Structure 1
Amino acid sequence: MSDVPLTHSRFGRRDFLTAGLGVAGGVALWAGGLAGPASAAGAERALWREGRSANGWPVTDKVHDHRVEGAEQVTVPLLAGDVATVLLFVARRVNYEIATLDAGEVTGHTTDRTVSTRYESNYLSGTAIAVRPVLYPVGSKDGLFPHETVVVRDILADCEGVVRWGGDEEVPKESHFQIDVRPGDERLATIARKFEQWDRTPGAGPGTINPFAPERQRAAKALERRQRAA
C-alpha cells in the first residue's frame, strides 16, 4: 500500500446532526454470544463470550497496525493479510471520496468483549472497522447525505459482497464495515488480489473511481438488494 498523504474534501454539514448521538445502557452478562439485538433507542452493552466473532472468524489478539493511505497519522489495528487489504481499501475510499480522516477516526480490533450488537463482535477478530463511529453510532441512521450513500454503495459493489455495511443491519451503525465471508472463503482472496492489482496500475483504484457512472450504480443497486435480503 502506498503511504502518500493527500488532501481531500470533508463530510458535509450533517456531521453536527449525529455528533451528539450516544449509546445508552449498562453491561449485561449473557452466555452464548450476544443474546438478542440491541434497540435503536438505547442499545444495551453485553459481554461476547464466544471464541469466534459473529462472522465466523476466531477472536484473536494477533493483529497489526495498518496505515490508511492518504490519511495523515491514521492507523487501524486489523488482522493482517487479505482482511487488512480489503478493509483498508474501504477506509481509503471513504478518505478520498467522502471525508478526510483524522487520527482516531478509524477504529478496528479491540480486546474489549462488551458489544452493543452481534456484529460488533467482529472487532474482536480484527475483521471489522468503524469509520467515524462517534458521528455514526449504533442505532443512528440516515446520517449520510445521498451522494455519500452512493459512494458507500459503490465501495460495497467493488468488494463484491465480501464486505457488509452496518447501515444495512436491523439495528444500524453507519460507521461499521465488516468482512462478511468465513475464513478460507476464496472470494476474500480474489477481492484482495483485485485491489492489490489496482494499486499497481496507474489510473486505477481509490481516487480514480466515478461512483456515479451508470454501470457502477446498477452494480451497486443489485448488490444492495441482495445484501438487504440476507
Structure 2
Amino acid sequence: MTTLTGTPAPHALPAPRAHPAPHAHPAAYADSGSRPAHPGHAARRVRASRPSRPSRPRRHAVALVLAVVAVAVAAALALQALAPGGDRSAGTSQNGWPEITSGDDPRLVRLPWVTGRVLGGDVATVLGYVAERFDAEVEPVDPDASWGWAHRPVRGGTTLSNHASATAIDLNAPLHPLGVRGTFTDEQVAAIRAILADVAPAVAWGGDYADRPDEMHLEIVGDPDVVAEVAARLRG
C-alpha cells in the first residue's frame, strides 16, 4: 500500500547580504565628531592661523631706512665736532660754556699763575689779566696752589664746574678754603673789587657767593660776546 506523504516545502531563499555603507569623506567625520579629523588637516588649520610674516622685500626696505638714519645721525655729530669754535662735547658747565673733557685739548693754553690751563683766546686774555693784577695788588700767587682746568662737577653737586670748561681759576687755594668767609683783609677785598670793575661784566668772584663763599675762585660769567668785548678793551 502506498503511503501518501506531504509535498516538500520549497527551499527558502537566503536573506540578502547587507553591504557596508560607503566610506564617508574625512571632512565629514571632522564636522560630525564621529572620528578625529586627519592629522594633516589639523596641521594645515593651525598653520593658517599664524600671523603672516612681512615679505622679504619689505624687511629689506625697513633695514635700509634704519641704516640711512644711523649714517645721517653719525654725520651730523661729526660735523658738529669739527666745526670751528663749535661745541666738541655734549655738556656745558654752569656758565653755559662747553665742557673740555681732555687735558690734551688744543683749545687749552697755559698761564704763568696757575697749574693747569685755561681756555685760549678771549678767556685767557681776561683771566690772565685778573691773575696778573691779583699777583701784583692782592697777594703773590703760588702757581703750585692755584688751578685752572679740571673736568669735574661742582663740589658737592652734579652740575659741571666752570673749571670743566676752563673758564675759572682758583688762586692760592689753601689760603682761602671753600666755605670760609673773611680770608682776605679789607684792603685785599678792595683790590679784588677794583680788578673786577675793570673786567665787568665778564668775571665774578666766589667771595660774593651768598650760600657758600669760595674766595679763591674767579670765573667767567659772560657769554662769548661779552668776554670778547672785555678782552678787546683790555688789549687797548
What's the TM-score once normalised by structure 2's chain length?
Answer: 0.55
Corresponding residue for residue 45 of structure 1: none
Separation in 1 of the partners of 2:175 and 2:118? 21
Is 1:174 equivalent to 2:215 in the alignment?
Answer: yes
What whole-Å deviation, never above 9, does each CA across 1:54-87 have from its counterpart, x for those lacking one?
100111133424233xx6xx55400111011101
Is 1:108 equivalent to 2:152 in the alignment?
Answer: no
Equivalent residue in structure 1 for 2:110, among 41, 66, 80: 66
Distance 1:76 1:86, change over 3 A: farther
The structure 1 segments of at least 4 consecutive aligned residues displaced by more than 6 Å after TM superposition are: none
Q: How does 1:150-165 map to 2 (within 5 A)?
A: 150-165=190-205
Per-residue deviation, 1:111: 2.2
Distance 1:106 1:65, change over 3 A: farther
Is 1:187 equivalent to 2:226 in the alignment?
Answer: yes
RMSD: 2.1
Corresponding residue for residue 54 of structure 1: 94
Greater strand percent: which structure? 1
Amino acid at match of 1:66: R
Q: Is the 8 A contact 2:94 2:162 kept in 1?
A: yes
Per-residue deviation, 1:195: 1.4
Distance 1:76 1:192, change over 3 A: farther
Is 1:99 equivalent to 2:139 in the alignment?
Answer: yes
Corresponding residue for residue 119 of structure 2: 79
What whole-Å deviation, never above 9, does each CA across 1:161-181 have from its counterpart, x for those lacking one?
210110111211001000001
Per-residue deviation, 1:105: 2.6
Per-residue deviation, 1:114: 6.1
Greater helix percent: which structure? 2
Per-residue deviation, 1:112: 3.4
Which structure has the larger Rg over C-alpha atoms? 2
Corresponding residue for residue 22 of structure 2: none
**Which structure 1 segments of 5+ residues have no match?**
1-49, 198-230
Equivalent residue in structure 1 for 2:235, among 196, 200, 208: 196
Separation in 2 of the partners of 1:95 and 1:129? 13
Per-residue deviation, 1:99: 1.6
Per-residue deviation, 1:124: 0.3
Separation in 1 of the partners of 2:163 and 2:149? 5
What whole-Å deviation, never above 9, does each CA across 1:17-53 have from its counterpart, x for those lacking one?
xxxxxxxxxxxxxxxxxxxxxxxxxxxxxxxxx8111
**Which structure 2 segments of 5+ residues have no match?**
1-89
Query: More relative contact order in 1 or in 2 (CA 8 Å, sep 6+)?
Result: 1
Separation in 2 of the partners of 1:119 and 1:165? 19
What's the TM-score once normalised by structure 1's chain length?
Answer: 0.57
- State the aligned residue count: 142
Distance 1:118 1:188, change over 3 A: farther
